[in-house]
C-alpha cells in the first residue's frame, strides 16, 4: 500500500504532500519519494534524518498559514545535505511542498487507477494553484486541468520525476505514479494466508486473495489487496497476467493439487509456492507426473516455502519467512526484466555490425531502466 496515497484519500485533516523532486549526488531517497504531513501525523518518509525534520517543520508552517495565500499552497525548497543539514549523504535535494485540497478528487482518481494496476502521470504547477493534470502513460488526458500549451506533449518516460520549465518560465513537477509490478495470487484465507497478507500490506506489491469461503476474509483490507470469493479458483489462474506469482495454501490437499496442476501448465509464472512438507511435495510430484506434468516443471514448484533456516510454525513466523523470500524473488525478477529491456534498447541504438559489443550502451540503458523502476 502506498501509505501517503491511502492517507490522502482517507484522512480529512488539512495536509501537505512533500515530494522529492530532484536529487543531485547522493540522497536518502529517490526522486518521486513522498511523505504526507498533517498537524499531528506523518505518512511515509522522504528518508528520515535532518532533511525530514526540516521538511516537517516547513509543511506544518504551511498548514498554519491562511489557505488563500499562494505561499501556503505550493513551494519548492533546496537542501544541501552536507553543508546545511550535516547529513553524510552530501548531495543536494529539492523538495516540493503541496497543500492537498480537502476534496482530493484527483487523488481518488489516481488511487482507483493504482489499485487497478494502471500507470499514470501527474503534472503539478509549482508557480500557481492550478489543478494538477492527470494523464495515462501515453500522455492522454484523464482529469484535472488540461495539459498547458506552453509545455510539450511528449513525456520522458525514462525519468520518473522531473521539474520542467515551460516556454514562459513557469515551473512544473511531472511525476510518474506507477502501479506495483509485483502481483501475488494467494489461494487460502486461513491463519497463514491472513498473516502473509497482513505482512505484505505496506510492501510494493498487489495481492489477489482467493478463497471460496467468503466469511473467512476480514472486513478491513489493505489497499493493495483484492478479494476473490469464488468456487472456480482455477479460472483465475488461467486468466492471470504473465509474471504473476502464485502461493497455494488452501484448506484442501485435493484443491491444492488441482491448483498446482493449473499453475504448472503455464510457462510464464514469476514464482510458484506451495505450503507443505517434503512428504507433501513427494506425494504431489508423483500425482502431478501422473497427470502429465513434466518432471522439469516440478523444479519450479517451491515446497516447502520460506527461507532456509527459519523453522518456526507460528503463522506470523511463516509469513515473515515467505515475505522475505518473495521480496528476493521479485527484486531478482525485476532486475532480469530491466536487463532484458536494456539489451533491447542497446541493440536498437547500436550501429550496424556492432551488436556484439554494446556493453557501454547497454549499461546506460540499464541505468535508465533502474531510474524508471523506482517507486
> What digits encode the pLDDT tens for the residues 195-248?
999 999 989 899 999 999 999 999 999 888 999 999 999 999 999 999 999 999
Can you give the pLDDT at residue 86? 59
Can you give the pLDDT at residue 154? 65
**From CA 196, how far away is CA 320, in angstroms rounded?**
7
The DSSP bridge pattern shows strands 225-229 and 206-211 to be parallel
Nearest to 142 by CA among 101, 106, 115: 106
Can you give the pLDDT at residue 357? 37
Q: Is the model's pLDDT at 18 over the cut of 60?
A: yes
- Contact of 90 with 81, CB cutoff 8 Å: yes
Span 330-371, pLDDT tens digits? 999 888 766 665 555 455 443 333 333 334 444 444 444 444
Which residues are within 8 A (CB) of 106 and not within 5 positions of it... i.e. 6 or more apart? 122, 131, 132, 134, 143, 144
Can you give the pLDDT at residue 67? 66
Can you give the pLDDT at residue 326? 97
What is the average per-residue pLDDT within 39-47?
Answer: 92
Q: How many CA atoms lie within 13 A of 65 on its CB side?
A: 18
In the CATH scheme, what is the homologous superfamily, with its name and number, of domain 183-324? NAD(P)-binding Rossmann-like Domain (3.40.50.720)
Span 159-190, pLDDT tens digits? 789 899 898 999 999 998 888 889 999 999 99
Can you give the pLDDT at residue 365? 40
Can you give the pLDDT at residue 341? 54
Can you give the pLDDT at residue 222? 87
For cell 484465507, the residue is 189
Span 239-295, pLDDT tens digits? 999 999 999 999 999 999 999 999 999 999 999 999 999 999 999 999 999 999 999
Considering only residues 270 and 70, tell me which one the structure prediction assigns the higher pLDDT.
270
Can you give the pLDDT at residue 366? 40
Q: What is the pTM of this model?
A: 0.71
**Mean pLDDT taken over the chain:** 85
Can you give the pLDDT at residue 87? 61
Report residue 375's pLDDT band, with 50, 70 and 90 as the boundaries. Answer: very low
What is the average per-residue pLDDT within 112-125?
Answer: 86
Report residue 157's pLDDT band, with 50, 70 and 90 as the boundaries. Answer: low
Q: Is the model's pLDDT at 89 over the cut of 80?
A: no
How long is the chain?
Answer: 375
What is the average per-residue pLDDT within 47-75?
Answer: 84
Report residue 374's pLDDT band, with 50, 70 and 90 as the boundaries. Answer: very low
- Contact of 342 with 371, CB cutoff 8 Å: no
Can you give the pLDDT at residue 338? 65
What is the average per-residue pLDDT within 323-334?
Answer: 93
Q: Is the model's pLDDT at 132 over the cut of 70?
A: yes
Cell of 114: 493504482
Q: Work out the burial of residue 70: count CB atoms within 10 Å of its CB; fewer than 13 is exposed, 13-18 middle, 19 or more buried.
A: exposed
Can you give the pLDDT at residue 313? 93
DSSP labels, 39-77: SS-EEE-S--HHHHHHHHHHHHHHHTS-TTSGGGTEEEE
Can you give the pLDDT at residue 340? 64
Over pLDDT 90: what percentage of the chain? 53
Amino acid at each position: 500500500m502506498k501509505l501517503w496515497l491511502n492517507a490522502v484519500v482517507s484522512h480529512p485533516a488539512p495536509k501537505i504532500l512533500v515530494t522529492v523532486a530532484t536529487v543531485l549526488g547522493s540522497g536518502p531517497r529517490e526522486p518521486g519519494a513522498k511523505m504526507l504531513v498533517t498537524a499531528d501525523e506523518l505518512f511515509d518518509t522522504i528518508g528520515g534524518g535532518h532533511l525530514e525534520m526540516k521538511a516537517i517543520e516547513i509543511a506544518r508552517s504551511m498548514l498554519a498559514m491562511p489557505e488563500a495565500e499562494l505561499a501556503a499552497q505550493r513551494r519548492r525548497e533546496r537542501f544541501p545535505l552536507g553543508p546545511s543539514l550535516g547529513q553524510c549523504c552530501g548531495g543536494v535535494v529539492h523538495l516540493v511542498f503541496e497543500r492537498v485540497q480537502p476534496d482530493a478528487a484527483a487523488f481518488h482518481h489516481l488511487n482507483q487507477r493504482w489499485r487497478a494496476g494502471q500507470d499514470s502521470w501527474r503534472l503539478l504547477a509549482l508557480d500557481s494553484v492550478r489543478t494538477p493534470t492527470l494523464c495515462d502513460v501515453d500522455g492522454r488526458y484523464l482529469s484535472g486541468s488540461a495539459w498547458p500549451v506552453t509545455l510539450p506533449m511528449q513525456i520522458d518516460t525514462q525519468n520518473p520525476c522531473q521539474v520542467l520549465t515551460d516556454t514562459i518560465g513557469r515551473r512544473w513537477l511531472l511525476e510518474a505514479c506507477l502501479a506495483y509490478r509485483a502481483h501475488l495470487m494467494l489461494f487460502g484465507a486461513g491463519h497463514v494466508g491472513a498473516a502473509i497478507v497482513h505482512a505484505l500490506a505496506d510492501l510494493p506489491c498487489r495481492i489477489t486473495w482467493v478463497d471460496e469461503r467468503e466469511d473467512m476474509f476480514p472486513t478491513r483490507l489493505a489497499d493493495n489487496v483484492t478479494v476473490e470469493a469464488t468456487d472456480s479458483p482455477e479460472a483465475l489462474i488461467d486468466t492471470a497476467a504473465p509474471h504473476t506469482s502464485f502461493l497455494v495454501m488452501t484448506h484442501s490437499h485435493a484443491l491444492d493439487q488441482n491448483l498446482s496442476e493449473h499453475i504448472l501448465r503455464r510457462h510464464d509464472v514469476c514464482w510458484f509456492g506451495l505450503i507443505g512438507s517434503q512428504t507433501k511435495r513427494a506425494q504431489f510430484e508423483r500425482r502431478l507426473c501422473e497427470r502429465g506434468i513434466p518432471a522439469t516443471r516440478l523444479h519450479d514448484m517451491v515446497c516447502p516455502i520460506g527461507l532456509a533456516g527459519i523453522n518456526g510454525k507460528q503463522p506470523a513466523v511463516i509469513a515473515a519467512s515467505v515475505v522475505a523470500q518473495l521480496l528476493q524473488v521479485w527484486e531478482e525478477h525485476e532486475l532480469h526484466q530491466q536487463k532484458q529491456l536494456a539489451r533491447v534498447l542497446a541493440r536498437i541504438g547500436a550501429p550496424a555490425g556492432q551488436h556484439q559489443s554494446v556493453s557501454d550502451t547497454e549499461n546506460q540503458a540499464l541505468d535508465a531502466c533502474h531510474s524508471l523502476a523506482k517507486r
